[in-house]
């Protein structure tokens, strides 16, 4: 079937039978001796010692199967000689079952007759020689009247003596009751055979009579062998006696397996219809008994019939539904007349019955006013789709034989399953190949084998073949085959091919399996007991529905029992897989090179070495290892099996469920399909019924109608198919595991934050293929992703699945980087992650199919030596250059030129030890991160700065050259510049710098002294003049990085310096895994990439402002209490449900949907007039290094960053949890392709996904090209008068507080502090500040906070709120007001938020006794929850308020 189209319920409708080109089957084979043409109708017991003779027409059994004389009474002294006789014929219904009855011990069975007398009216007691013995009689059961030509009956009877070495003959049933009940004599058992006794039959190979549709489908052409499977015993011509009743149609099923392993299921019914005598030749009429042999005259009283079949083919094993449909079509053909032709019902069922979907799980099809069928959605299971019935297997073979067949299949034996019921063969055959999951049968498999293909039984390879039992009446079976008789519940083994005993299986798993199967078999026997006749019909119907549900449950339990055994038998196999780490050899796909066979064998117990030795040599296990080692379509199934192995590894009780199935119905919504509409007659009268058939007709194409309803396709659900790039796709099992992990993590604050963080990184790796595709340097992009993985491992990020590693492995294979793929695998093992089957397959595929570097070492060593020589020469020249630079600095003016950066120090000389050396132009492999305290970024020399050691894949906004001294980190809030000015003013050190020389650090001052300086915002001195440049070594060694020029720092930059983190892929804008103190602004210069600069095309840094600036804020207002809920509180309120968009308010506990507020500012300029030169930059324009001036101008509408005001737009979209966003992104990539993530249409068609991705990628400082999509979207289209901007002109800023405040609300305290400090606030407009919130009040709050008297600050705030003129509604909590005020006054770099939280909680403990916790909560004085604090600690606070 085509993956692009919705699935069809039925693919083809086929009519098979005797065609013109059909050939005779019995002429080419050597049949066995003539089989009996008549069944056995009577049995009798005679006593020869008393003169009784064999009755007329009876045959006496005088010997056993091996020729030993037999006497039914041989075990008694002075016994009478008793013999068994039988009679054949068709004058009465045949016998269908025989038995033995012990009088006084057994109850008479209903329908059985006891043979208590001989034909001569003497007692037929088989133990009549002694009165003290058990009275024993024969019993029989007869078929119902009247007999049909194809009625099953007893066709042969024999007696066996096990003491003489005799066994039950093949295809015979044995009565397990000894006929000799005495203490003397050999045991004697009665055996009989049931078959179809018929004569006068010609067998031909079936042919195709008609089909619909007539044209083959491109994805699934109709196989030519379908007619042969519809009539496996051939198309027959039969001669019946006059008055013979037509037999009932026989339902059969079969399975066709394609070259790719796809299965097609067939359902067929076989029936008879009249055959014209004129079509027979004289030879055929003689063989059928229609002509006398002597004078060739017609024999009267005979009728001719032929066998036909109708069949449907489908990819879905809905056998019960197909049986009802075919029976309706057959009854329709033999009844009539009808208004509608037969073809109308066939085309209606094929075109207008949709496949059940999760939205419409039940399809009720009304075929006629009296016929209907219900089609339900199949069970959603991780196991492969199959038509197996384990209950049918248990019902026909029992638990012990089922385990014996499990051994036979695992050791690849030749299995021949036979039965007189063709529909049972397919169910049992499918169960045999399904019980060995995850192994897959690789040899010939024909669950219902036609006579035309019976040569496969002589094949010298293992096979599983099912055949009709009448095959043995025609041909001799092969000798080296294990026969499984489903009618007699027996397994026949030849001397040439003996099975392993079930004792060879692992003892404990086999014991658990047998116990489970015995329990299920007992429950099945109880279920099959019919309800009492006295129950009303409605109770009988309800009981039938309950029995059907119970049967489905037992079916799943039986399958789970075999699954548990296989998981225990293969436990620990993954540790013996051998990954392809070096360059693969030509035999890289050999099982011995992919799996440690001997190591796995030694890990098993010695008692089971024989079983495992045979298992490892089978094609089953070899293919299983290849499926586990390479990417295949079985990855979801194998990944599910790995989870089962992990569960049994935990030594949990045996009742631990391994299969967690979804509801197969999914709901109660039922779609009703009406019957075909009848055409209207003239004047609205009912049309005449003119369609009547003498036999099943040949389908007429003119009567087959096209689809009636074009909307049926919408009712269908597309079959699951792998996307073009399946690596980003999570399997169903991975989704379930991630959901369980999220549910457990939601109850633990630390785990919940890490769970969200892991899903955020998963989002970026889902976007990674798009990012690498757009990157000019593919290897650098892959190296960047690998460094992200290393950073995640260093900081113990908990990933919910292996998609991150899998995507990178697939990209390594796609772009030919097998060495990097090996490094990714080693990184997984270093992180303690064992790759599952899906990841392992992509790894081996990348390693095997990629081109490896050359294995010779000579060229690499020579290049390494040359590299070391050049680096050594450069190291010798470096002191000379430094000396010249010092001389030039002494004679240079005080203001250095902006275009002459100092050189970067060279790395020390190292010996080349890797396979690929770096050139001198390559950046350093792992430079250290530098914490920047301002919005300016130092320029590199001939390269770029990156926290990952690679240049950014996305051009970022270049820094502006400084025209004034760099401000300290906190100058934007008006506090840190004062500290720097006061502490560094006056006398300077000998070096002339505020640090007092290279590496100088100003000692810390007390917090009270700093507050004393902070509490005078109106007495700030003007900025100092430009300072002379420092020496290159004036920077602290722990803050220097290779390729970075030295920067001038004030002593205040070292005050309360946060702890340095190890090298990390996150930029300074986040504290995803580090300290909360690292909150410097990273959103001012890039579109999500780590802080770096990239020189312009002309070699000079750009001086233009960004084309677009985007402000993002996740702070949302609760609709219930109007309180502002900040980012970490929103994260803490999310649930583990990946479909729930709501979060909970920490104040009123109401659920609501948070929103991302976005403001887009467009600064693009119109083009310059023709002939006009470049516009020089304004000398008064600010630069990014002056944060205070930038913020002042940012709030000035007339001038922003030295450019005219531009257009701006504000939008808001739902703020999604990473769990919800990942589910939506996966669905988007699967349905619309990953290419959409690189097109501007993403912004307009999926804005929620786009803006959430921008937020998370910017939050974690992960590089992406998403912000550049805004330039081509409908949000900011390029006006015709504007020049197209450079791709580097996009800037994204993340805000902690609201983006658009309420004009009527009271300004927060940190805004009031800025207003009192003569700094304009960032947002406009704010309402007038209330009178109680004066500068004195703010200074008092800061004084209490600085003196660790937070409880006094809270009390003062509460008292002020109760004063007249104070705002009635407080949108922010008291905690949030004090925190933001402290950050604005002291600066982000000088505030330890974790310490502030501890002091605040301690202060609430002191106030709780006086005011009460409920009162403090009502007045919104409670701190954030532990979950919210941990989310902020994990993700980091947004860099700006």
The mean pLDDT value of the chain amounts to 74
Chain centre to alpha carbon of residue 604: 31
Mean of pLDDT values over 1114-1131:
87
- Which pLDDT does position 1167 carry in this prediction? 53
Which one-letter DSSP state was computed for residue 1390?
Answer: G
The answer to which of 327-336, 1256-1265, 1297-1306 has the lowest mean pLDDT is: 1297-1306
Say whether pLDDT at 1210 is over 80.
Answer: yes
Q: How far apart are CA 476 and CA 465, in angstroms?
A: 16
Q: How far apart are CA 976 and CA 984, in angstroms?
A: 12
pLDDT-derived band at 880 (thresholds 50, 70, 90) equals: confident
- Which pLDDT does position 367 carry in this prediction? 86
Q: How far apart are CA 640 and CA 1022, in angstroms?
A: 69
Mean of pLDDT values over 487-511:
84
In tens, the pLDDT along 1153-1202 reads: 999 999 888 877 655 554 444 444 443 333 333 434 433 434 443 333 33
Pairing of strands 201-204, 235-241: antiparallel
Token pair for 140: 């029989």
- Which pLDDT does position 17 carry in this prediction? 93
Say whether pLDDT at 565 is over 90.
Answer: yes
The DSSP H or E segment spanning 61 is strand 58-61
Beta-carbon neighbour count of residue 875 at 10 Å? 13
Helix axes 422-434, 390-410, angle to 10 degrees: 50
Contact 1164, 1107 (CB under 8 A): yes
Token pair for 129: 């020689």
In tens, the pLDDT along 697-707 reads: 888 888 887 65
- Which pLDDT does position 1217 carry in this prediction? 92
Taking Cα atoms as reference points, which of 1193, 1198, 1192 lies closest to residue 974? Answer: 1192
The answer to which of 634-638, 703-707, 988-992, 1300-1304 has the lowest mean pLDDT is: 988-992
Q: How far apart are CA 1414 and CA 1425, in angstroms?
A: 15
Token pair for 1356: 């003062």
* 389 or 975, higher pLDDT: 389
Q: How far apart are CA 1367 and CA 1330, in angstroms?
A: 7
- Which pLDDT does position 1328 carry in this prediction? 66
- Which pLDDT does position 563 carry in this prediction? 92
Q: Using alpha carbons, list the distances in angstroms from residue 1202 to 244, 748, 1133.
A: 106, 49, 42
- Which pLDDT does position 651 carry in this prediction? 56
Query: Under 8 Å CB-to-CB from 835, ≥6 apart: which residues?
Result: 802, 805, 825, 828, 843
pLDDT-derived band at 404 (thresholds 50, 70, 90) equals: very high
Here the contacts of 495-502 (C-beta below 8 Å, separation 24 or greater) are: 497/413, 497/414, 499/404, 499/407, 499/408, 499/411, 499/413, 500/407, 500/411, 500/610, 500/611, 500/614, 501/407, 502/400, 502/403, 502/404, 502/407
Contact 377, 357 (CB under 8 A): yes
Q: How far apart are CA 239 and CA 234, in angstroms?
A: 16
Share of the chain above pLDDT 70, in %: 70
Pairing of strands 362-368, 302-314: unpaired
* 668 or 924, higher pLDDT: 668
Mean of pLDDT values over 624-650:
80
Q: Using alpha carbons, list the distances in angstroms from residue 635 to 316, 580, 627, 799, 838.
A: 21, 18, 8, 20, 5
Say whether pLDDT at 566 is over 80.
Answer: yes
- Which pLDDT does position 197 carry in this prediction? 67
Share of the chain above pLDDT 90, in %: 17
Q: Using alpha carbons, list the distances in angstroms from residue 400 to 162, 250, 520, 521, 1439.
A: 21, 30, 13, 11, 70
Q: How far apart are CA 706 and CA 698, in angstroms?
A: 18
Which one-letter DSSP state was computed for residue 1203?
Answer: B
Query: Under 8 Å CB-to-CB from 1159, ≥6 apart: which residues?
Result: 1110, 1111, 1208, 1209, 1210, 1299, 1300
Query: Under 8 Å CB-to-CB from 911, ≥6 apart: which residues?
Result: 864, 868
Residue ranges of alpha helices (H) inside 617-659 are: 619-629, 635-649
- Residues counted in the chain: 1441
Contact 1029, 1357 (CB under 8 A): no
Main-chain dihedrals φ then ψ at residue 801, nearest 5 degrees:
-160, -170
Taking phi first (over 0 means left), then psi (-120 to 50 degrees means alpha), and beta for anything else, what does residue 325 get?
Answer: alpha
Taking Cα atoms as reference points, which of 559, 4, 15 lies closest to residue 270? Answer: 15
Contact 1376, 1354 (CB under 8 A): no
**Whether pTM exceeds 0.85:** no
Q: How far apart are CA 1177 and CA 1166, in angstroms?
A: 16
Beta-carbon neighbour count of residue 1264 at 10 Å? 24
Q: How far apart are CA 219 and CA 223, in angstroms?
A: 12
Say whether pLDDT at 851 is over 60.
Answer: yes
- Which pLDDT does position 171 carry in this prediction? 82
Q: How far apart are CA 88 and CA 37, in angstroms?
A: 9
- Which pLDDT does position 589 carry in this prediction? 62
In tens, the pLDDT along 1027-1041 reads: 433 333 333 333 333
Residue 723, CB-side half-sphere exposure with 13 Å CA sphere = 17
- Provide the 3-class DSSP secondary structure of residue 714: helix
According to the 3-state scheme, what is the secondary structure of 1204-1266? CCCEEEEEEEECCCHHHHHHHHHHHHHHHCHHHHHCCHHHHHCHHHHHHHHHHHHHCCCCCCH
- Which pLDDT does position 661 carry in this prediction? 58
Say whether pLDDT at 999 is over 50.
Answer: no
In tens, the pLDDT along 1291-1346 reads: 888 888 877 776 667 778 888 888 777 776 666 566 667 777 788 888 888 888 88
- Which pLDDT does position 711 carry in this prediction? 42
Token pair for 877: 């020249």
Which one-letter DSSP state was computed for residue 991?
Answer: T
Q: How far apart are CA 1397 and CA 675, in angstroms?
A: 71
Mean of pLDDT values over 279-283:
86
pLDDT-derived band at 859 (thresholds 50, 70, 90) equals: low
- Which pLDDT does position 1372 carry in this prediction? 80
Token pair for 1164: 């693009």
In tens, the pLDDT along 28-47 reads: 444 445 556 688 999 999 98
- Which pLDDT does position 1254 carry in this prediction? 93
| E strand segments, 124-243 | 136-142, 152-160, 173-174, 189-196, 201-204, 207-212, 235-241
Say whether pLDDT at 889 is over 60.
Answer: yes
In tens, the pLDDT along 173-193 reads: 888 888 887 777 788 899 998
Taking phi first (over 0 means left), then psi (-120 to 50 degrees means alpha), and beta for anything else, what does residue 955 get?
Answer: beta
- Which pLDDT does position 244 carry in this prediction? 78
Contact 1243, 1250 (CB under 8 A): yes
- Provide the 3-class DSSP secondary structure of residue 691: strand
Mean of pLDDT values over 398-407:
93
Query: Under 8 Å CB-to-CB from 717, ≥6 apart: which residues?
Result: 6, 7, 355, 356, 357, 358, 359
Taking Cα atoms as reference points, which of 65, 22, 20, 72 lies closest to residue 45? Answer: 72
CA dihedral for 180, 183, 184, 185, sign (positive or negative): positive
Contact 13, 350 (CB under 8 A): yes
Placement of tokens 């060995």 in the chain: 436
Mean of pLDDT values over 269-296:
86
In tens, the pLDDT along 467-497 reads: 988 888 777 878 888 999 998 888 888 766 6
The DSSP H or E segment spanning 256 is strand 250-257
């Amino acid at each position: 079937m085509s993956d692009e189209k919705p699935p069809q319920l039925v693919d083809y409708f086929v009519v098979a039978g005797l065609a013109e080109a059909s050939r005779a089957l019995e002429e080419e084979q050597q049949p066995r001796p003539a089989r009996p043409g008549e069944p056995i109708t009577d049995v009798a017991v005679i006593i020869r010692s008393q003169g009784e003779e064999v009755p007329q027409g009876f045959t006496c059994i005088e010997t056993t199967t091996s020729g030993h004389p037999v006497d039914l009474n041989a075990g008694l002294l002075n016994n009478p000689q008793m013999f068994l006789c039988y009679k054949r014929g068709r004058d009465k219904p045949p016998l269908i079952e025989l038995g033995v009855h012990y009088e006084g011990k057994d109850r008479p069975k209903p329908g059985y007759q006891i043979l208590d007398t001989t034909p001569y009216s003497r007692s037929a007691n088989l133990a009549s020689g002694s009165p003290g013995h058990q009275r024993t009689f024969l019993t029989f059961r007869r078929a119902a009247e009247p007999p049909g030509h194809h009625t099953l009956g007893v066709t042969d009877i024999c007696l066996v003596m096990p003491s003489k070495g005799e066994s039950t003959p093949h295809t015979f049933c044995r009565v397990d009751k000894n006929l000799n009940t005495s203490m003397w004599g050999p045991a004697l058992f009665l055996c009989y055979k049931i078959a179809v006794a018929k004569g006068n039959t010609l067998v031909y190979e079936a042919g195709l009579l008609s089909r619909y549709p007539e044209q083959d489908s491109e994805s699934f052409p109709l196989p030519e062998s379908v007619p042969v499977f519809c009539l496996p015993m051939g198309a027959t011509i039969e001669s019946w006696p006059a008055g013979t009743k037509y037999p009932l149609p026989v339902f059969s099923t079969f399975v066709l397996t394609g070259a790719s392993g796809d299965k097609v299921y067939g359902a067929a019914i076989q029936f008879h219809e009249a055959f014209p005598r004129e079509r027979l030749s004289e030879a055929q009429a003689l063989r059928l008994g229609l002509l006398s042999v002597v004078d060739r005259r017609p024999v009267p009283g005979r009728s001719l019939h032929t066998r036909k079949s109708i069949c449907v083919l489908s990819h879905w094993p809905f056998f019960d539904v197909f049986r009802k449909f075919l029976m309706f079509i057959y009854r329709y053909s033999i009844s009539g007349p009808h208004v509608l032709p037969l073809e109308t019902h066939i085309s209606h069922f094929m075109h207008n019955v949709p496949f059940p979907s999760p939205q419409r799980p039940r399809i009720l099809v009304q075929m006629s006013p009296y016929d209907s069928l219900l089609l339900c959605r199949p069970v959603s299971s991780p196991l492969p789709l199959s038509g197996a019935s384990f209950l049918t297997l248990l019902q026909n073979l029992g638990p012990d034989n089922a385990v014996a067949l499990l051994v036979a299949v695992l050791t690849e034996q030749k299995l021949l399953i036979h039965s007189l019921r063709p529909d049972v063969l397919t169910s049992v055959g499918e169960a045999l190949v399904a019980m060995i999951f995850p192994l897959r049968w690789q040899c010939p498999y024909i669950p219902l084998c036609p006579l035309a293909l019976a040569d496969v039984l002589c094949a010298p390879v293992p096979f599983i073949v099912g055949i009709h039992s009448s095959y043995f009446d025609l041909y001799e079976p092969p000798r080296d085959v294990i026969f499984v008789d489903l009618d007699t519940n027996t397994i026949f083994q030849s001397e040439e091919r003996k099975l392993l005993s079930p004792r060879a299986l692992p003892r404990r798993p086999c014991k658990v399996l047998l116990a489970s199967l015995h329990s299920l078999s007992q429950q099945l026997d109880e279920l099959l007991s019919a309800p009492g006749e006295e129950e009303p019909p409605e109770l009988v119907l309800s009981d039938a529905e309950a029995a059907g549900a119970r049967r489905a449950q037992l079916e799943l339990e039986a399958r789970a029992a075999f699954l548990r055994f296989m998981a225990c038998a293969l436990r620990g196999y993954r540790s013996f897989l051998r990954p392809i780490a070096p360059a693969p050899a030509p035999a890289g796909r050999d099982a011995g090179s992919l799996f440690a066979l001997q190591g796995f064998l030694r890990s098993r117990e010695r008692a089971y070495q024989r079983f495992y030795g045979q298992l490892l040599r089978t094609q089953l296990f070899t293919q299983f290892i290849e499926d586990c080692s390479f990417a295949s379509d079985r990855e979801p199934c194998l990944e599910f099996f790995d989870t089962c192995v992990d569960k049994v590894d935990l030594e949990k009780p045996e009742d631990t469920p391994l299969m967690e199935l979804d509801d197969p119905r999914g709901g109660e919504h039922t779609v009703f399909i009406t019957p075909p509409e009848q055409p209207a007659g003239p004047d609205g009268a009912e049309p005449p019924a003119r369609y009547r058939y003498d036999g099943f007709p040949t389908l007429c194409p003119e009567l087959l109608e096209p689809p009636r309803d074009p909307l049926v396709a919408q009712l269908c659900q597309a079959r699951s198919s792998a996307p073009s790039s399946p690596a980003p796709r999570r399997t169903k099992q991975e989704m379930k595991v991630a959901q369980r992990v999220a549910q457990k993590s939601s109850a633990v604050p630390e785990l919940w934050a890490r769970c969200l963080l892991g899903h955020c990184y998963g989002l970026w790796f889902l976007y990674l293929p798009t990012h690498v595709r757009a990157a000019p340097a593919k290897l650098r992009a892959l190296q960047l992703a690998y460094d992200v993985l290393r950073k995640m491992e260093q900081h113990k990020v908990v990933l919910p699945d292996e998609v991150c590693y899998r995507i990178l492995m697939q990209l390594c294979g796609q772009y030919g980087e097998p060495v990097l793929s090996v490094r990714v695998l080693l990184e997984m093992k270093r992180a303690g992650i064992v790759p599952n089957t899906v990841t392992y397959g992509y790894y081996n595929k990348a390693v095997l199919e990629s081109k490896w570097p050359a294995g010779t070492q000579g060229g690499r060593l020579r290049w390494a030596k040359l590299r070391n020589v050049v680096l050594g020469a450069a190291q010798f020249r470096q002191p000379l250059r430094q000396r010249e630079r010092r001389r030039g600095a002494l004679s240079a003016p005080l203001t250095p030129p902006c275009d002459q950066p100092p050189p970067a120090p060279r790395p020390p000389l190292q010996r080349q030890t890797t396979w690929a050396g770096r050139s001198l132009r390559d950046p350093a492999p792992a430079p250290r991160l530098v914490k920047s305290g301002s919005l300016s970024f130092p320029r590199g020399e001939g390269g770029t700065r990156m926290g990952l050691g690679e240049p950014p894949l996305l051009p970022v906004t270049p820094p502006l050259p400084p025209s004034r001294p760099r401000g300290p980190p906190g100058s934007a809030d008006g506090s840190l510049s004062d500290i720097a000015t006061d502490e560094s003013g006056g006398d300077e050190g000998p070096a002339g710098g505020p640090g007092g020389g290279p590496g100088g650090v100003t000692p810390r001052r007390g917090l009270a002294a700093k507050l004393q300086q902070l509490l005078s915002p109106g007495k700030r001195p003007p900025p100092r003049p430009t300072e002379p440049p420092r020496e290159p070594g004036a920077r602290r060694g722990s803050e220097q990085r290779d390729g970075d020029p030295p920067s001038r720092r004030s002593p205040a930059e070292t005050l309360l310096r946060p702890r340095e983190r190890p090298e990390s892929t996150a930029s300074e804008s986040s504290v995803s895994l580090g300290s909360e103190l690292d909150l410097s602004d990273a959103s001012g210069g890039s579109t999500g990439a780590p802080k770096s600069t990239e020189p312009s095309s002309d070699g000079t840094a750009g001086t233009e402002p960004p084309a677009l600036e985007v402000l993002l804020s996740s702070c949302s207002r609760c609709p219930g209490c109007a309180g502002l809920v900040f980012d970490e509180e929103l994260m803490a309120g999310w649930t583990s449900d990946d479909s729930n968009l709501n979060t909970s308010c920490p104040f009123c506990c109401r659920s609501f949907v948070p929103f991302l507020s976005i403001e887009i500012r467009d600064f693009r300029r119109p083009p310059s007039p023709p002939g006009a030169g470049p516009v020089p930059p304004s000398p008064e324009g600010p630069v990014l290094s002056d944060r205070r001036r930038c913020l002042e101008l940012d709030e000035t509408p007339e001038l922003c960053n030295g450019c005219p005001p531009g257009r701006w737009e504000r939008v808001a979209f739902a703020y999604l949890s990473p769990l919800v966003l990942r589910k939506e992104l996966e669905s988007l990539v699967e349905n619309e392709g990953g290419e959409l993530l690189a097109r501007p249409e993403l912004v307009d068609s999926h804005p929620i996904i786009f803006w959430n991705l921008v937020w998370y990628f910017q939050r974690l400082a992960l590089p992406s090209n998403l912000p550049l999509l805004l330039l081509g979207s409908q949000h900011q289209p390029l006006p015709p008068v504007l020049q197209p901007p450079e791709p580097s002109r996009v800037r994204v800023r993340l805000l902690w507080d609201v983006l658009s405040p309420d004009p009527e609300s009271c300004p927060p305290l940190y805004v009031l502090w800025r207003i009192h400090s003569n700094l304009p606030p960032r947002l406009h407009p704010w309402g007038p500040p209330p009178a109680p919130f004066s500068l004195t009040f703010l200074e008092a709050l800061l004084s209490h906070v600085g003196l660790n008297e937070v409880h006094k600050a809270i009390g003062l705030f509460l008292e002020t709120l109760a004063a007249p003129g104070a705002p009635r509604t407080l949108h922010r909590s008291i905690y949030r007001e004090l925190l933001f005020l402290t950050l604005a006054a002291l600066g982000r770099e000088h505030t330890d938020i974790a310490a502030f939280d501890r002091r605040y909680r301690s202060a609430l403990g002191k106030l709780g006794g006086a005011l009460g916790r409920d009162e403090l909560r009502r007045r919104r004085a409670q701190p954030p929850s532990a979950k919210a604090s941990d989310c902020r600690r994990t993700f980091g606070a947004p860099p700006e308020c």
